[in-house]
Copies of this chain bind each other. A is one copy, B any other.
Amino acid sequence: MSESTEKAETAEKAEKLDAADELAPKRAEFALDDVVYLDGNSLGALPAHVPGRVEDVVRRQWGELRIRSWDESGWWTAPERIGDRIAPLVGAAPGEIVVGDSTSVNVFKALVAAVRMAGEGRDEILVDATTFPTDGYIAESAARMTGCTLRPVTPAEVPGALGGRTAAVLLNHVDYRTGRLRDLPALTAAVRAAGAVAVWDLCHSAGALPVGLDEHGVDLAVGCTYKYLNGGPGSPAYLYVRRSRQDAFDSPLPGWNSHVDPFGMRTSYEPAAGALRGRVGTPDILSMLALEAALEVWDGVTIEAVRAKSLALTDFFLECVEAYVPDGSVESLTPAAHEERGSQVALRCPDAGEVMKRLIERGVVGDYRAPDVLRFGFTPLYVGFADTERAARVLGETLSR
């Protein structure tokens, strides 16, 4: 088969896959142009109805109702209300998630709380040695401030590293660099069996694949909302606290928003019941209500359908890369096995920074991680198969020069 015939057939296949895609109509709910946007694993695209909603928050809720909006516009209860909206996407129940603060701040809350839950005599924190750096930095601080030692291990080494001293284990559901999906059920079970507490970072999995927090016995989890959840730049993160662990959740950041009677202005601290005790200070309402509006694109969507399309997209992308990209010019770091794959494809490529710059000039937007990794994120709500084919084609042309 000639190269041009092969490309024509691949393009035709993309067209068929798009025609059969039940999620395809969702794309119209986003503000998108003719760019192939494969960076939704870093900053999700704008849902088209969000600007109007934000304008209402600013002009009417802030500008006209002003202080009354804390009650009348539901500002005060936004952290738990939006948490409940995220809950079904990660397999949590109502009342188990609060939204607020950054992921880093939530990692600190969760990890310190985990050490306190684990109890006396446990003084070691295990942290994923391949983690996104901030988790490692914050884990170091949490260890320092709780009198623990910090031990970096690869996720594969975790079961062997667990012991009677292990207090907490901080893990990433999907590796930000390679896109590798970790075995959350098995690792959580191992951590629990050792009497320790697992904290999962869901930044690169929530909104892309089923997480099953309740089902798999996870105690604590955190995640951001600006990637697959399309909450907007720096939109607030969230904290999950398993129902049965909530009474034991002892926050290192016991701000007044987590008090049982916040407007009682009491001198002594008494935490609220439930996930509410993960709240800290006054919530950043504009960012938070933009997120709330953005979450409406999930109406009528199951995370299982998203996962099925995500795998089909990444399979197809790898197939197109195989067909279009000169042999030996890239190497996939993303596992071939579905059960080990998140929703991005990472390709090792010399000169990745320069290559990505050229792709972006040609309307294919991904990103890269130093020194040599091209990252392509696949967001099933708005990326299609023709987009995927085009991205691989442009990559192939760029690398053929």
Contacts and interface: CB of A to CB of B under 8 A. Distances in A.
A310 interface: no
A58 B51 contact: yes
Contacts of A42: 67
Interface stretch (A238-246, A259-267, A340-348): A259-267
Interface in A58-82: 58-59, 61-64, 66-67, 69-70, 75
Contact of A133 (B108, B132, B265): B265
Nearest to A255: B104
Interface string A96-122: 000001111100100010000000000
Given A42-B67, A265-B370, A269-B137, A105 B253 contact: yes
Interface in A215-229: 224, 226
Contacts of A129: 267
Contact of A255 (B39, B137, B267): B137
Contacts of A37: 66
Given A31-B63, A286-B233, A255 B138 contact: yes
A44 B152 CA distance: 46
A51 B58 CA distance: 6
Contacts of A108: 252-253
Contacts of A255: 102, 104-105, 134, 137-138
A367 interface: yes
A268 to B, nearest CB: 8
A251 B141 CA distance: 9
A259 B75 contact: no
A43 interface: yes
A67 B365 contact: yes
Nearest to A254: B137
A354 interface: no
A290 B281 contact: no
Interface residues of A, number: 79
Given A39-B67, A55-B55, A253 B290 contact: no
Interface in A355-381: 365, 367, 369-370
A155 interface: no
A316 B373 CA distance: 66
A129 B104 CA distance: 30
A75 B66 CA distance: 27
A232 interface: yes
A234 B234 CA distance: 14
Contacts of A50: 58
Given A233-B69, A255-B104, A255-B105, A133 B267 contact: yes
Contacts of A207: none
A287 interface: yes
A188 interface: no
A226 B43 contact: no
Contacts of A112: 145
25 contacts: A31-B64, A46-B62, A51-B55, A54-B54, A54-B286, A55-B55, A62-B232, A67-B367, A101-B102, A103-B281, A103-B282, A104-B253, A105-B281, A129-B267, A133-B269, A134-B257, A137-B254, A141-B253, A145-B145, A226-B282, A234-B282, A234-B283, A235-B286, A286-B286, A286-B290
Interface of A: 31, 33, 37, 39, 42-43, 45-46, 50-51, 54-55, 58-59, 61-64, 66-67, 69-70, 75, 101-105, 108, 112, 129, 132-134, 136-138, 140-141, 145-146, 152, 177, 224, 226, 232-237, 251-257, 259, 263-267, 269, 280-288, 290, 365, 367, 369-370
Closest 10 CB pairs of A and B: A102-B281, A104-B255, A104-B281, A134-B256, A233-B285, A46-B63, A284-B287, A234-B284, A31-B63, A137-B269
